[in-house]
Structure 1
Amino acid sequence: MPDISIGRFRGGFCVYWRKPDGKRTRHGLAARTREDAEAEAIEVYRRVTYASAPRGATVADLWAEYVEDLGDKPTATTMGYTGKAILPHFGAYLPENITKVLCVSYARTRADAGKSQGTIWTELGHLQTALNFARDVRRIDRAPKIWRPAKPEKDKRILNKGEARALLDGAREPHIRLALALLLGTGARIGAILDLEWDRVDFERGTINLRLADAKTRKGRSVVPMNSGTRAALDVAQRAALTDFVVEYAGGPVKSIRKGFTAAVERAKIGHVRIHDLRHTAAVWMLSEGVPIEKVAQVLGHSNISVTYRTYGRYLPEHMQDAVNVLDFTTLKDRA
C-alpha cells in the first residue's frame, strides 16, 4: 500500500495519494473524526484500487449473478433498486475485504443523504443475502458478516373494528374496497392480494390460496378460509370480472393501491395508517379473540411461530398473567 494522507476538504476529511504515474488523486470521506477518517481512508483506497484492478469475483459480480438467478421474481426488482445504493460503495470490493468500518461508512453516507435507519438496515441485509448466495453456490468460500445498525422498532397501528369499518366505507372505488376487504379478512400482505387470480379462489371449499405455484416470492403465504365478508366481496367481484386477476381496474391487473388507500384513510378520518398495518390489525384481533398463536402463524404464512411471537407478543400482555400471579407475595402465607 502506498503512502496515503488525510487532509481537510469542504469542512470534512479527505484521503489522497499518488498513483503509479505520479498523479495525485483525492477522495472525500464520510468520517467526522480524525480517527474514523484514518480507518475509512484505507477502505477508500482499497475500493478505488480494486475498481481499477479487481482480482476474482467482486461484490458487483456476485450481486449480478444473484439477480440473474432470481429471474423474474419480485426480489430481483428490489435488488435492482438496492443495487443503485450498494454497488457504488461496495461493488469494486472482493467479499473478503469488506469490513465493519466500510459498512459503518456506508451507513453514515446514507444517513447523510436522508435515508432512515430502517432503510439502511434493509440495504445492508440485501448485501448479506447476495454474499450468502455466492457462498451457497460455492462462488466464494465464505460470506463475510455484514455489520448493520440496529433494526428500528416500528410502531404498529392497530385499528379497532369501528376504524376498520370506516376505512372500508371510505373506499369509493370497487377495486380498492375489495383489496381492503381481503387485506383485513385474510391478514395477507398487499403483494399476495394483488397477485391473486381467480383460479386460486375456491368457492366450493371456501378457501383462498395466496401461494404462487412457482414460488416467486420468498415471503410466506398461506391458504386461508373465507369468512362471510370476504366471500360476499369475492362473489360480487367475480360476477363483474374482466380479467384473471381478483383485484383489477380498467380491464387490467392493479400494481398499487397506495393512492386509493390514502384517499380512503382520509375519508375515514382515522389518522395515520399504513397498508401493512391492516395485516397487523388482523393478527392482533385474532390473538385478542383467543385464537391460538399457532393458528395465527398459519394464517399469516409464518414459517416459524417464533416470528409471530416476536412480532405480536407485546400486544398481548395478558398471556403472561398466570406468570406474574406467582409473584404476588402479598398473598403468600408464612412458611414454617
Structure 2
Amino acid sequence: MQVNIGRLRGGYCVYWDEKPSGKRKRYQLKARTRAEAESEGRDRYLKESQPTNGLTVARIWETYIYHLGTKPTAKTMGWTGKAVLLHFGELRPDQITVDDCRGYLRQRLAAGRKIGSAHTELGHLRSALKWAGKTNLIDRVPFIELPPKPDSDVRPLTDTQIVRIIDNCLAPHIRLAVILLLTTGGRVGSILDRTWDKMDFERGVIDLRKSDGVTRKGRAVVPMNRMARAALQTAYDSRQTNWVVEYNGKPIKSMKTGYYAALRRANMVGVNIHQIRHTVAVKMLSAGQPIEAVSQYLGHSNTAITYKTYARYMPEHLADAAEILNIDRFSELARTSQKTAK
C-alpha cells in the first residue's frame, strides 16, 4: 500500500487508499517538519490500519514492503506475496503452525514449483514476521519452517564456452558487460550501474559498491585485471556518458536481450547470466585460491556463505584429511592386489 505525506491546513497530513475499496484515509499530523511527518505518518498508518482482532499476515506483509521502501526485496515480495498471501494472508501470526508451513510446501510442489522457490517465499514470510516482532507490531514471532535449500545444479562454464559467448556478443556494450561480469565476479546490477569514477585505472581497481549502501547483496572492490583493463580502456575512449555500460548515449537497465541473443548465436541456449558469477568462483577455487580470498572477491559478508555454496567444488582440500585415515598395512595390501590384478 502506498502511504503518502501531504499538506493540510498549513501543516502535514498522512493519507492512503484502503484496499480493496479504494476509500481514501487522511489524518492531520502534529509534525512541524517533513522528516517528523514521515515518522509520525508511519505510526498513524500502523495504528489506524490494525484490525480489532489483531494484525493479519496480509497486513504485516503490506506494511513490511512499505517499510523496505526502494530496496530490491520490496519489489520481489510483490511477486512472492501472490502465493504466500493466498495461503497465509488471512491468518494472524499466532495462528501459524509448522503444519501450515509444510502444507504450503506440499501445495507449491504439487503446483509444479521448485523447492527453491518455496524456500524463498517462506523466507520472505519469516523476514516479515521477524520485522513485525522487532517493531512490536506482534507479541510473538511464530516459527516458520523452511524446506532445506537445494544445492545449486548450475555448472561452471569452460574456457571454450566463455570465449564463444564473448565472440558472439556483437553489441559492444553487451560484450563489455560480459567481460566485466567474468573479471569481477559481480552481479549484473553492480555492473550496469557503474560510472567511470568507480573505475580507477591508476590504482588498477574496480569499485562495485553502492555509495548509498541500498542493497541487500554484498559488493566488493576488486583488482582490474588485464582483460578488464583492455575492454574498459576501449569503452572509455569512445564514451558518450558517465556510465560505463551505455547504449545510444544512455545507461541500460537490462542486458538480457543482448546476452541471450549472443547465446543463440553461440548455440549455448540455457546458460543463465548468474552462471558467469558461479564460474568465477569455481575457477578461482579450482586454481587453489583460499576461500577467504574468493569470499572477499564475491563481496560475501562472511566466509560461511562462500563455504556453503562452493565448498563442494574444492574436494582437494580434503586430501590431507583422507590420508590421515590410511592404515599402512592395508594400504600395502591394496597395492599388492592391484599388481596381481594386472
How high is the TM-score relative to the length of structure 1?
0.78
| Structure 1 residues 199 and 136, CA gap change in structure 2 (3 angstroms) | farther
Name the counterpart of 2:237.
239
2:148 aligned to 141, 147, 150, which one? Answer: 150
Q: CA deviation at 1:119?
A: 0.9
How far, CA to CA, are the matches of 1:196 and 1:75 in structure 2? 21
The answer on whether the counterparts of 2:206 and 2:222 sit within 8 Å (CA) in structure 1 is: yes
Name the counterpart of 1:138.
136
- Structure 1: tracts of 5 or more residues without a match: 1-52
| 1:219-258 residue CA offsets vs partner (Å, 9 max, x unmatched) | 1111111101111111222233333332222332222222
The answer on whether the counterparts of 1:74 and 1:217 sit within 8 Å (CA) in structure 2 is: yes
How far, CA to CA, are the matches of 1:244 and 1:95 in structure 2? 48
How far, CA to CA, are the matches of 1:135 and 1:195 in structure 2? 35
Name the counterpart of 1:173.
171
Name the counterpart of 1:328.
326
How far, CA to CA, are the matches of 1:199 and 1:257 in structure 2? 22
The answer on whether the counterparts of 1:67 and 1:79 sit within 8 Å (CA) in structure 2 is: yes
2:129 equivalent to 1:123:
no
1:189 aligned to 175, 187, 190, which one? Answer: 187
Instruction: Provide the secondary structure at the position in 2 that maps to 1:224.
Output: strand
| Structure 1 residues 142 and 237, CA gap change in structure 2 (3 angstroms) | farther
How far, CA to CA, are the matches of 2:300 and 2:155 in structure 1? 20
1:206 aligned to 200, 204, 207, which one? Answer: 204
The answer on whether the counterparts of 2:156 and 2:282 sit within 8 Å (CA) in structure 1 is: yes
| Structure 1 residues 183 and 332, CA gap change in structure 2 (3 angstroms) | same
- Structure 2: tracts of 5 or more residues without a match: 1-50, 333-342
The answer on whether the counterparts of 1:54 and 1:92 sit within 8 Å (CA) in structure 2 is: no
- One-letter code of the match for 2:70? D
Instruction: Provide the secondary structure at the position in 2 that maps to 1:172.
Output: coil
Name the counterpart of 2:272.
274
The answer on whether the counterparts of 1:171 and 1:260 sit within 8 Å (CA) in structure 2 is: yes
Please tell me the root mean square deviation across aligned C-alpha atoms, in Å.
2.0
Name the counterpart of 2:339.
none
2:215 equivalent to 1:217:
yes
Name the counterpart of 1:8.
none
Name the counterpart of 2:85.
87
Percentage of identical aligned residues:
51
- One-letter code of the match for 2:108? R
Name the counterpart of 1:55.
53
How far, CA to CA, are the matches of 2:283 and 2:242 in structure 1? 31
Name the counterpart of 1:302.
300
Instruction: Provide the secondary structure at the position in 1 that maps to 2:222.
Output: strand
The answer on whether the counterparts of 1:95 and 1:143 sit within 8 Å (CA) in structure 2 is: yes
2:263 equivalent to 1:226:
no
| 1:154-204 residue CA offsets vs partner (Å, 9 max, x unmatched) | 212111222211211111111211111011101111121122222222222
Number of equivalences: 282
- One-letter code of the match for 2:54? G
Q: CA deviation at 1:296?
A: 0.8
The answer on whether the counterparts of 2:260 and 2:269 sit within 8 Å (CA) in structure 1 is: no
How far, CA to CA, are the matches of 1:243 and 1:71 in structure 2? 29
Instruction: Provide the secondary structure at the position in 2 that maps to 1:208.
Output: strand
| Aligned pairs (5 A) from 1:30-69 | 55-69=53-67
